[in-house]
Amino acid sequence: MTNPKGRFGVHGGQYIPETLMNAVIELEEAYDHYKNDPEFNRELNELFCEYAGRPSRLYFAEKMTKDLGGAKIYLKREDLNHTGSHKINNVLGQALLAKKMGKTRLIAETGAGQHGVATATAAALMDMECVVFMGEEDTVRQALNVYRMRLLGATVVPVKTGTATLKDAVSEAMREWTSRIADTHYCLGSVMGPHPFPTIVRDFQAVISQEIKAQLMEREGKLPDAVIACVGGGSNSMGSFYHFIENKDVRLIGCEAAGRGIDTFETAATVNTGKVGIFHGMKSYFCQDQYGQIAPVYSISAGLDYPGVGPEHAWLHDIGRAEYVPVTDEEAVCAFEYLSRMEGIIPAIESAHAVSHAMKLAPTMKPEQIIVITISGRGDKDCAAIARYRGEDIHE
């Protein structure tokens, strides 16, 4: 589905400084080699199974199903992975690839801290140096994850420029990469940025949909009617959708962070409110003003607080294969609380956006229909912020 220049329809591409071009070409060549290398795949599979705890469970949420009174709901439990989110899938793949390429240092951006923690973890495991760029505002919102990264041996650099959130962390990581390329791999955390990142990250995350398919076939003997996942840059959703793209009867639904609503300026719902642009190495949809200045986006979820979306999502939207729906802060917080009480599962606030949409959709569907929601991460990191949202001040 990717043409040679990394295009998804009109989206994708390699809009980066000349300084980085040979680095991404080297990465593409290495990836093209290792993705078909049995030894690489054996090592990665072993890391997935023995270290990350794959396959993750596909859990039938029986109470939730009864309570909502419609479609059967399954939860794909990426929150049960080592480090507590889907991010580890991509990071183990990229760290192993970087190691094979002779790199000794990983740099990464992080929003909520999940990708940073995963990268710091892989760096510790593989004896690599690690530097994580994190928006200063996010270091406050996600102080616990900052500590986890430091504990794992990573250096966390608070980024003060711009809105001091995820987009600025990406910009700063890109700047760092242009200044130190020879020994450094930029371990990008989502299906975004210049080619080949959207493809590499998607391939490493595609294990999610591969497992869902096999697990559901075993449990139910059929495919789901809908797969629902949250979308920031879009890696857990791309991973959840990928092997279902060919199954046209499976609805693919991405849930964007609407923040305080898509009719306000305090939103991060890129597909719903943005337009096509060129930024962070890719052509895709971006929240921006009429002169192309990138908009300061907002969401309660640091992990979805990004003004763009991966180019393959932009393309799935253009061709009508996937739907992208906005979910507000309030709806996500309600879903966060709902899943905690209903199933005893505290989802990441990012994943709660997907849960919220499923709560709306399930009652409109028939009992023999099936929804799979990807729970991309665990919600421990969000408890303090959600408590604050509800007017309660707790100390972590």
Partner 1 sequence: MSKIASAFDHGKAFIPFITCGDPDLATTEQAVLAAVENGADLIELGIPFSDPTAEGPVIQEANLRALTLNGGVTTDEIFELVRRLRRKVEIPLVFMTYANVVFSYGAERFISTCRDVEIDGLILPDIPYEEKEEFQPLCSKYGVDLISFIAPTSENRIGRIAREAEGFLYVVSSLGVTGVRSEIRTDIAAMARLVRQNTDIPFAVGFGISTPEQARDMSRAADGVIVGSAIIRILEEHGKDAPEYVGAYVKKMKEAIL
Q: Clarify whether 213 is annotated catalytic.
A: no
Q: Clarify whether 376 is annotated catalytic.
A: yes
Q: If you search the block for the tokens 């229909």, which residue do you land on?
A: 369
Q: Catalytic one among 235, 331, 376, 381?
A: 376
Tell the smallest beta-carbon distance from residue 94 to partner 1 (Å).
20
Nearer to partner 1, 26 or 330 (CB): 26
Nearer to partner 1, 11 or 381 (CB): 11
Tell the smallest beta-carbon distance from residue 238 to partner 1 (Å).
23
Tell the smallest beta-carbon distance from residue 326 to partner 1 (Å).
22
Distances (CA, A) of 196 to 26, 48, 154: 10, 22, 25
Tell the smallest beta-carbon distance from residue 205 to partner 1 (Å).
25
Q: Catalytic one among 78, 109, 172, 312?
A: 109
Tell the smallest beta-carbon distance from residue 207 to partner 1 (Å).
30
**Taking Cα atoms as reference points, which of 348, 311, 287 lies closest to residue 117?**
348
Is 119:83 a contact under the CB 8 Å cutoff?
Answer: no
Is 381:369 a contact under the CB 8 Å cutoff?
Answer: no
Distances (CA, A) of 181 to 106, 115, 362, 380: 10, 21, 48, 35
Q: State the residues that interact with partner 1 by CB under 8 A.
A: 5, 13-23, 161-162, 167-168, 171, 174-175, 178-181, 275-281, 286, 288, 290-294
CA–CA dist 331, 280 (Å, integer): 30
Nearer to partner 1, 36 or 290 (CB): 290
Tell the smallest beta-carbon distance from residue 295 to partner 1 (Å).
8
Is 278:308 a contact under the CB 8 Å cutoff?
Answer: no
Give the pairing type, strands 275-279 and 281-286. Answer: antiparallel
Phi-psi region of 251 (alpha: psi -120 to 50; beta: other; left: phi over 0): beta
What is the distance in angstroms between the CA of the first residue and the CA of the last residue of the chain? Answer: 45
Radius of gyration of the chain (CA): 19
Is 256:325 a contact under the CB 8 Å cutoff?
Answer: yes
Amino acid at 329: D
Nearer to partner 1, 175 or 219 (CB): 175
Nearer to partner 1, 158 or 162 (CB): 162
Tell the smallest beta-carbon distance from residue 347 to partner 1 (Å).
31
Give the pairing type, strands 58-60 and 72-77. Answer: antiparallel
Nearer to partner 1, 177 or 204 (CB): 177
Q: Tell me how long the chain is.
A: 396
Q: Catalytic one among 76, 87, 167, 381?
A: 87
Nearer to partner 1, 175 or 222 (CB): 175
Residue 257's DSSP bridge partners are 327
Q: Clarify whether 109 is annotated catalytic.
A: yes
Residue 281's DSSP bridge partners are 15
Q: Which two tokens stand for residue 315?
A: 């393309």
Phi-psi region of 267 (alpha: psi -120 to 50; beta: other; left: phi over 0): beta
**Taking Cα atoms as reference points, which of 89, 51, 279 lies closest to residue 200?**
89
Catalytic amino acids? 87, 109, 376
